[in-house]
A and B are shown apart, each in its own frame.
Chain A
Amino acid sequence: MAEVLKVEKLYKTYGSGRLAVEALKGIDLTVNAGDLVALLGPSGSGKTTLLMCISLILEPTAGKVWLDGETLYDNGWKEVDIRQIRLRKIGFIFQARNLIPFLTALENVMLPLDLLGLEKKEAYRRAMELLEYMEIAERANYLPALMSGGEQQRVAIARALASSPKLLLADEPTGALDSDRGMKVMKLLKSIAREKQTAVICVTHDERMIEGFDFIYRLKDGQISLNNHPG
């Protein structure tokens, strides 16, 4: 299995001096292509901070981050185009209001393809393909406000997959959904990991949702531990 993400001795401290808060304390994590990884932990345990450090939104305090064989951080940003890496290699799904409200479902999925410079015709074809894969093609021309939360989340997953990313980061993707819809979204993430060999890291606090995940990590007080037996 190809290594997609490697994090080594990752630290993140907010503030300084007496007010310093250590959110991450030497995190080590390796994720391979097709891996389904769950990050569990109570609120404030550092889950979102870890996600933001991995996705280059937040600068770590120390440590190393490799993505798809490329060093992104080695006790300091490496000279990489962060936006391009996020656009080409990382897909994002988050809890709610994922979609751009003034774009239709189709346009939301076409947006990353447009940013990648694909021709309109090709972008349309791929976006429709993804919407069909997500079984939401019939809502292609709907604005997000006219779709249910589950439908919106499926469109968001389609958009996250548009650029065929190596890594899919999902931050509480079922947080705003009822359990039925949440289960469906999780099922989709699993099939994506299996069929498209995309590494999926899913942050959640709901342990019912992570059945069938390959690796389950728990974060507590900024420290990570592997625990493959949820509950």
Chain B
Amino acid sequence: MDLAIRDIRQHLGRFSATVVGIGLLFAIVLSMNGIYRGFVFEGLSLINITNPDLWVVERYRGGPINEQSLLPEFFHYSVAAIPGVEKASPFIVYPVERRIAGKSRRFTIIGYDVFTGMGGPKKLVAGRPIVQAHYEAVAHEKLGLRLGQNFRLGLHTYTVVGLTREGTSPDGEPLLYLSLPDAQEVIWLPDNEEVRNQRLRIYQSLVRPGFFTPQEAEKYLARYAVDTHKVNAILVRLAPGAQAKEVALRIQDYLYLSVFTTPEQIDIMFKGRLNRPRMQLFLFRSLLLIVCVVIIAMVIFTLTLEKIRSIAVMKLIGAPNRVIIRLIMEQSILLTACSYFIGWIVIHNTYQGWPRLVLLTPEDDLTTLGLALIGGIIASLLGIWKALKTPPALALGEQ
């Protein structure tokens, strides 16, 4: 005779309400799993999509994604000349907040050499890659732009020639791919008024008494023109048979730059930018799981207290301990399993509407279920202890 089911049958309303309540908590636990996975996935997605053999960045910098790095664009010629390098391509990754199509949006500009294709989008869901040196863009779907749409960015108007769905910045912002010179212009070219002001400031400093004549100052002013020929990294494809470590050492020694392989970049992200939020999310989901277990323990304990006389009656008529243990543990496991199921249904039907990526995996779902069930068993211990301590004499009204 399944006593647990029969007891639940009598308290069906309360049991159901508790299941829904704890189920929503489990939904949050599962969502935290998904947010955690999504956070890591988004944090690494740009590295994984770009995936060159080597990332060359400013010396002592962990960039370009974990940390900002800035290099002169022409360095890619020097890198390309290093033995073992088949191709070196300049690369820009730069988060911005600009107005696009009348709305202020946060996104990350990716500038790449559209002719080598290194650093560009891998899979398009519509349209084509950028094939012209200027005024074409490939946009992430999340930006809300349509194929063929023209939009103003900085000084120029760009046309969306392709749409992509893969990859975001580490912050989960959508990507906008531009050709390298377009990206450089959008990011580093100040507007005309700022250029005029800057030139005036430089001119005034040049014509100070004892420096240059106005004619000489005009001549040198061109030297101080705004430099947009900067990149954040140089992506390297190795020649067949070249060893990444050896080539990296050569670049470091000859060019005084820092070099990382893609796994090293991932490692840097894990230990750097992703580390604390990752730990925070892990801590948060662990705490939530503990909260669930504590609530289940309290509910089971209360249910046990309510039937303590019935337990005494059972003991009096000769029920062995295992029957009583089973009654309480089964209720705890049922409560946990039903709550988990409710949580699972809630999160699996809502996660696509969340603002950031929620990446739910069967492994995480199963692990959480396993931990929840272990928690459910632990939660029943308090009730079991109380039940086993109950004297059969209680049934006779004696304590």
Chain A interface (Cβ within 8 Å of chain B)? 48, 51-52, 55, 57-58, 83-88, 92, 94-95, 97-103, 107, 110-112, 114-115, 143, 159, 171
CB–CB B317/A48 < 8 A: no
Cβ-closest chain A residue relative to B6:
A102
B310 contacts across to A, CB distance below 8 A: 100-102
Complex Cα–Cα for A110 and B397 (A): 24
A87 contacts B317, C-beta separation under 8 Å: yes
Q: A48-B396, A110-B1 are in contact. Are A115 and B307 (CB under 8 A)?
A: no
A-B contacts at CB below 8 angstroms, number: 71
Contact, CB under 8 Å: B9 / A102: yes
- Chain B interface (Cβ within 8 Å of chain A)? 1, 3, 6-7, 9-11, 307, 309-310, 313-320, 323, 391-393, 395-398
30 contacts between A and B (CB under 8 A): A52-B396, A52-B398, A57-B316, A57-B391, A58-B393, A86-B318, A87-B317, A87-B318, A87-B319, A92-B317, A92-B395, A94-B395, A94-B397, A95-B397, A97-B309, A98-B313, A100-B310, A102-B7, A102-B9, A102-B10, A102-B307, A103-B6, A107-B1, A111-B314, A111-B317, A111-B319, A112-B318, A115-B317, A115-B323, A143-B10
Task: Report Cα–Cα, A115/B10, bound state, in Å.
Answer: 21
A143 to B320, CA, bound (A): 24
What CA separation (Å) do A57 and B317 show in the bound complex? 11
Taking the closest CB of chain B, its distance from the CB of A7, in whole angstroms, is 18
Residue of B nearest to A85 (CB): B318
- Expressed in whole angstroms, the Cα–Cα distance for A107 and B1 within the complex equals 8
Q: Which residues in B have their C-beta under 8 angstroms from that of A94? A: 395-397
B317 contacts across to A, CB distance below 8 A = 86-87, 92, 111-112, 115, 159
Nearest 10 CB-CB pairs, A to B?
A: A87-B318, A86-B318, A102-B10, A102-B7, A100-B310, A114-B1, A83-B318, A57-B393, A57-B392, A102-B6
Contacts of A114 in B (CB 8 A): 1
Q: What residues on A are CB-neighbors of B315 within 8 Å?
A: 83
